[in-house]
């Protein structure tokens, strides 16, 4: 059950195009728009999460991940500090 309303403004030509596409798929405007928006949102989120590498780039990437961590004194100092909300 849907419990939230999402409102937006559009030109009549945009609404007509959306209605035509929705009708072609046997859907109503709301279902069509929600499905299209969620597909686009998922693609954007996944694009930021997953990436493709060729074999050579993947080997370099895994080598960097497997390499020993270099000392970082500035990071060590930062992590050793007590957070402001605990002071």
> Mind listing the pLDDT tens digit for each residue in 27-59?
999 999 999 999 999 999 988 887 889 999 999
Question: Which residue matches tokens 């195009």?
Answer: 17
Tokens encoding 30: 């709301």
Q: Rounded mean pLDDT of the chain?
A: 93
Tokens encoding 74: 């500035």
- In percent, the amount of the chain with pLDDT more than 90 equals 82
Question: Where is pLDDT greater, at 84 or 64?
Answer: 64
19, 29 in Cβ contact below 8 A? yes
Spatial separation of the C-alpha atoms in residues 55 and 52, rounded to whole Å: 10
pTM: 0.56
Torsion, Cα 30 31 35 38, to 10 degrees, reads 50
Of residues 64, 68, 2, the one with CA closest to residue 35: 2
């Amino acid at each position: 059950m849907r419990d939230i309303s999402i409102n937006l403004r559009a030109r009549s030509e945009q609404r007509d195009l959306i209605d035509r596409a929705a009708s072609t798929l046997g859907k109503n405007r709301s279902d069509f728009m929600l499905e299209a928006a969620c597909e686009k949102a998922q693609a954007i989120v996944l694009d930021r999460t997953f990436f493709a590498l060729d074999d050579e780039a993947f080997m370099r990437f895994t080598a960097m991940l497997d390499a020993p961590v270099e000392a970082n004194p500035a990071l060590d100092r930062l992590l050793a500090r007590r957070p402001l909300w605990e002071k």
